[in-house]
Amino acid sequence: MSDLVFKDPLWLLALLALPLLIWLRGRRAVPVLIVPFAAAWHRPSLIRASRVPVSLAIVGLVLLIVGLARPQRVESRQEVRAEGYDLMLAIDLSGSMQAEDFERDGERINRLQTIKPVIQAFINDRPSDRIGIVVFSGRAYTLAPLTFDHGWLGRQVERLKIGLIEDGTAIGDGLGVSLARLDQPTRAAEGGRRLGAFVVLLTDGANNRGTLTPAQATEIARARSIPVYTIGAGRDGFVPFPVFDDRGNKIGYQRRPSDLDESALRQIAADTGGQYFRADDVRTVELAFAAIDRAKKIEFQAKSHLLTTELFAWLVLPGGTLLLLGAALTLPRRPGPAGVAAAIGGAAAGTPSVRGADAAAPGAREASRSSDARGGSPAGGPASRVAPASKGAAATATPLVTAASLSRPSTAGNVTPGSLR
């Protein structure tokens, strides 16, 4: 079952401001340019002004606001019951694991690379088991508690490398931390024995650090009836150790005696009821699985949980794109020289009345001057007062034509909208 929820729903209140912004935009003042005789050369446009930029901007803002509210798809998982085991994997990351005494496809690999396929087999091939991981070197740390999320565990194992922890080999501490992670009173039987729990110890077996000794950790495991399956990584005799320069580049090999302590690993397994395996044995995983599966399984009660998927990116990215596109479409476009020349030519060809007014203006001015010289008009009336008016009318008969006014002519008489700026 999945639901759609908003993590920050208060952002949705911003949607209420959009109608106000649209209303204010429609009421803003529009500057005009007065052009005499503009109606003489105006031609009505057959194409209405496009509303696409405004529409794109509005849709983009809506998507951005909804994205900021962080929509999430929430899937609920119900409680289930299953049977399996609790397995803790104790992984050695000490410097001795750098010994490259194994080969794969003709290439040398170190001991950690040798045991990683074994670890992945436990994680991938046992889906009904809860698995946890403890890593140790000079100290021991919990990498992951018991979990059913095997995919996440596999990714953490891929990130493991030698040198993450201070050098040393504290096998006792690694085993002790693993036992502590398996300490669950609800899984204990009579006498404090733990049911359905195992420790898988992957190491080269040479303990030289730590608070607990392997013998002490083994005694704790035996008291709790937790079998420890040990897997030895390494070979006997002299083995090649890589030599690195100051930059971490491999420059050669140095042969050193192997510190694999098989006898100690066999003893830990025997005292706790487990078994010992070699990492280079192709049947190691198969034999270990068979030994574990012989034990009685325990019942798990997995609690319900929620899986959340963020959806804001699916809204914010297209919203921002639409907003930028709408802004780009509103940028003013300058007409080219050819467009300006064509507009001027078309205006000149379509204004005969303007040219007639200009041609008549000199005659009117001459008649006015003759009347002034005679001291009056033939009619004996107020010609002296009419002449200045005619002169003023003739002066205003010359139209004011600009490139901006010709590029986008007015639609109402002598007034052009603010688009003629």
pLDDT of 173 above 90: yes
Contacts of 280 (CB under 8 A, 6+ apart): 102, 114, 235
Q: DSSP characters for 87-111?
A: EEEEEE-SGGGG---EEETTEEE-H
> What CA–CA distance (Å, rounded) separates 264 from 280?
18
Percent above pLDDT 90 for the chain:
18
Query: What would the two tokens of residue 397 be?
Result: 């008969």
Provide mean pLDDT across the span 4-19: 88
pLDDT at 261: 82
Beta bridge partners of 5: 72
The domain 80-303 belongs to what CATH superfamily?
Answer: von Willebrand factor, type A domain (3.40.50.410)
pLDDT at 217: 93
> What CA–CA distance (Å, rounded) separates 95 from 340?
81
Provide mean pLDDT across the span 75-84: 70
pLDDT tens for each residue of 129-166: 899 999 999 899 999 999 988 999 999 998 888 888 88
Task: Please report where in the chains the tokens 């066999």 appear, as a residue.
Answer: 266
pLDDT tens for each residue of 280-302: 777 888 888 888 888 777 776 66
Task: Residue 154: count other Cβ atoms within 10 Å of its Cβ.
Answer: 13
180-204 burial, b if ≥16 CB within 10 A, otherwise e?
A: ebbeeeeeeeeeeebbbbbbbbbbb
Query: pTM above 0.85?
Result: no
Which of 86-100, 148-162, 354-368 shows the lowest per-residue confidence on average (mean pLDDT)? Answer: 354-368
Nearest in space to 180 (alpha carbons), one of 197, 202, 166, 204: 197
